[in-house]
Amino acid sequence: MKTVKKKAKKVIKKALETNILTSDKFVGRIRKIRGQIVEIEYDESSNLPNFHDILTSPDNPLIRLELYAYKGRNRLFCLSLTQKKWLLRNMPIYSTSQPLVIPAGKSVLGRVFNLFGEPQDNKGPLSRAELIPIYGKSAGISNVVTSSEIIETGIKQIDFFTPFVKGGKIGFVGGAGVGKTVLMTELLRNITYKSQGLAVFAGIGERIREGHELMKALEAAKVIDRVALIFGQMNEHAIIRFRVAWAAATLADYFREHEKKDILFFADNVYRFIQAGSEVSAILGSIPSELGYQATLETEISNFENRLVSTTNGSITSVQTVYVPADELSDVGVAAIISHLDAQVILSRAIASRGYYPPIDALLSSSSTLNKEIVGDYHYQTATSALELLNNHKILARTVAIVGEAELSPYDQKIFQRAKKLINYMTQPFFTTESQSGKKGVTVPKTNTIKDVESIITGKLDNIPPEKFLYIGSLDEAKLTENTT
């Protein structure tokens, strides 16, 4: 043990001689390693680092330890952001005197990188990038602005039932495998394609394959040069997955405040952010809340969401996917996220199993912007009538499942058929799934969607069979009119 300590002191002395360390920097040595928690021992005379400062080693500059807490005399706890095999007991450690930083600026657009600013796209190093700390502050209430300008996505169901405004937050909520990421990728492609702003994508704890597919989809759509992608995938440490959300929010802040741009912020998946925070809390030995989540859950999600706001310099429009464990929408973590969203798009496994994509449940989904003041009387009245029709279909479907459609009254049969046409019409082929589905992707203007829905629910298309409405764009493009036989 004495030999190891002497070796550590020699390394520190050599580092001081070569100017790697200076006499005013914190210097210590690793005392214990417990998973992702590293305990550092230091001398009384050391200059103590600040919380969130990154500590590293003269032996290996790739080692990154984030200061989390102090313990009694001469001890501090760090969260490890590096591989455990690199860490050794009595390894010398010193402070960099700064928190974790990420690259920012125009050079990160079109690039894929990780939490440490290391490129992941085989396109060479990031050049001339400004480094900024990930721990920014939320905008002051006096600087925050709101807007009622609706952003069109070209996706019929979203534009019609759950419109969202510039600077708002929309969430795609659903269980595993119902198409949250596909829907987000399509929306990212559609909006970025016609928008003049910039986009930031945060991959939080999701599959590496999905990140690669997203990069290729953006390249194919020729919009990747206006998107910065930062990933902390599911194979990474919990602390990396937890911090990548902050890093992405910081990058969006930078483009909004310094470049004065309107930003589209995409996060896939925000529930994984909550989950990573729970893992970090368990690693630290914190007492969980009654339902198993970390006691600081509400604070963590609020601190993250409150940074995604619009100011006088620019807007941040946020689109987030929310995984629902066991398809239980009342889950505490899911509810905490949903409370911050302006629009919730609920994806249904039952609808997906019947082959309707996107499998959005319009009756469960909601949007605070679906009101007369924002969307206008025509859109509001049409959407309200459509929801009433879908609700009647849901009630009649139970009877049809038992005795068949022929047993319904003529009026109920007419209502049931119109609802089936509306449900089929709301299916849509996506650009991002052309290779899998074999159907060419389409976008539909909101005005066309409203007009088409009105034609369906008022009976103008009663002579057309429901099958004709599956996976089409607008009725005009599909050449389905009231004169069609």
Residues carrying an active site annotation: 180, 206-207
Q: What are the angstrom distances between the C-alpha of 111 and each of 345, 388, 431?
A: 29, 46, 22
464, two tokens: 């057309």
Are residues 204 and 240 in contact, defined by beta-carbon separation less than 8 angstroms?
no
- SS3 assignment for 31-67: EEEECCEEEEEECCCCCCCCCCEEEECCCCCCCCEEE
* Residue ranges of E strands in 233-332: 263-268, 316-323
CA distance 394 to 186: 28
Are residues 54 and 68 in contact, defined by beta-carbon separation less than 8 angstroms?
no
161, two tokens: 């039932």
CA distance 207 to 231: 10
- With CA atoms as reference, report the closest residue to 435 among 198, 216, 237: 216
144, two tokens: 């925050």
Assess whether the previous peptide bond of 358 is cis (omega < 30° from 0). Answer: yes
Q: Burial of 251 by CB count in 10 Å (0-12 exposed, 13-18 middle, 19+ buried)?
A: buried
Strand partners, 345: 172
Do strands 227-232 and 198-204 pair parallel, antiparallel, or not at all (unpaired)? parallel
Are residues 481 and 462 in contact, defined by beta-carbon separation less than 8 angstroms?
no
* Residue 212 CA from chain centroid, whole number: 16
- Count of beta carbons in the 10 Å neighbourhood of residue 140: 8
